[in-house]
Amino acid sequence: MVNESAKKVRKKLLLFIFLGWVLLIIGDRLDELRVYQGAQIAMYTIALASIVLLTGYSGQVSLGNGAMMAVGGYAAALTLNNLQTPIWSAFMMAILVAALFGAFLGLAAARLSGPYLAGTTLALAVGLPAIANQFSFLGGEPGLLFDVGFPPERFGEEFTQYKWYFWIATFIALVSLFITSNILQSRFGRTWKAIRGNSLAAELSGIHSSQMKILAFTVSSGLAGLAGAVLAMTISLVAPGAYTLALSFALVTGAVLAGISSLPGVVLGGFILVAIPEIADALAASLGNQDKLNSYLPGLFVSVLLILSVIYTPNGPGENLRKHFHKKSAH
């Protein structure tokens, strides 16, 4: 049984290495806009994975993942700017601080459920940017610079800054998905599923539901914090305006569209969230008055997609596609 499990992990590792190799080759052949969008997709992929773990597996509904991303982004920026550490140390600090913040929040979350938990995390998403404005060491409204530096010279002059962002973001996303998928397929993932299915039955079988919910919140927050640091890298800035309530709602929409319990679907969700502003730009250009339309069209698209998904595909199109292909392969 142990050998079989180890073989699955090795196969999965080889698959992720192969995917990374393919993505890096593709990224080297794309223009600046596309590699920047690729880095954004990688960032959203990590953020959506945190929602899949928290909501899809442990059953806890959070509307405040944007706030957790802000915690990770600020932690990474403060580490990089004040300690002059390597960029990887800043990303690790983002995970650690966001996870600790999530553990603290998880203590309260373990006692809440449904709309009460959603309302609490929503209040966090609304209030955190305003709180950040009050502290000068956080940069106030302008925020803090987040500069990961130029790419290594050995990559050549044609290797641009955006390609460097893409390489870093893609590597982090692949490692995050690999670790998250192994966690979800372990006894922790099975335990979270049992709690989501019936917390009372899980308690009767000897599972400490509160402790496991706190653990889910901790791991999910760490992932969200990492995504926040990747976002800070792609825009070279950590500011309240980057981690708005709209970001939290967009992440929920992406998770629903991808399939709230489908980890592979988070890539589809990332593609959708990156494509929405581009579709809005094209539509606004065709209708005229581009500046005014661009201010609300992306939010309108997110809202409409979320409503349609909840009505027609509650588990998300990504999850429905996965089940469809699973049935076909079974036959």
Measured distance CA(266)–CA(41) in Å, rounded: 9
Q: How confident is the model at residue 218 (pLDDT cuts 50, 70, 90)?
A: very high
Q: Are 204 and 195 in contact (CB under 8 A)?
A: no
More confident residue, 19 or 288: 19
Q: Are 38 and 96 in contact (CB under 8 A)?
A: no
Lowest mean pLDDT of 69-83, 163-177, 305-319, name the range: 305-319
Helices (H) and strands (E) in the chain, counts: 14, 2
Residue owning tokens 């539901």: 209
Measured distance CA(160)–CA(301) in Å, rounded: 32
Q: What domains does the chain contain, in order, with CATH numbers?
A: 2-330 (1.10.3470)
Measured distance CA(322)–CA(251) in Å, rounded: 20
Give the mean pLDDT of 134-144: 82
User: What percent of the chain is modeled with pLDDT above 90?
Assistant: 25
pLDDT for 201: 80
| Mean pLDDT rounded to a whole number for the chain | 82
More confident residue, 148 or 73: 73
pLDDT for 232: 94
Cβ neighbours of 99 (radius 10 Å): 24
Q: Are 287 and 293 in contact (CB under 8 A)?
A: yes
Cβ neighbours of 29 (radius 10 Å): 8
Q: pLDDT for 232-272, tens place per residue?
A: 999 999 988 888 888 888 888 888 887 788 888 888 889 98
pLDDT for 176: 93
Q: pLDDT for 264-313, tens place per residue?
A: 888 888 998 888 888 777 777 776 666 666 666 777 777 777 777 767 66
Answer yes or no: is pLDDT of 320 > 70: no
Cβ neighbours of 232 (radius 10 Å): 33
The DSSP 8-state label assigned to residue 155 in this structure reads G
Answer yes or no: is pLDDT of 318 > 60: no
Q: How confident is the model at residue 229 (pLDDT cuts 50, 70, 90)?
A: very high
pLDDT for 41: 94
Q: pLDDT for 74-108, tens place per residue?
A: 999 999 988 888 889 999 999 999 999 989 888 87
More confident residue, 43 or 27: 43
- The answer, as to whether pTM is greater than 0.95, is no
Q: pLDDT for 183-199, tens place per residue?
A: 998 889 888 888 888 77
Please, what is the angle between helix 266-287 and helix 32-51, to 10°?
130
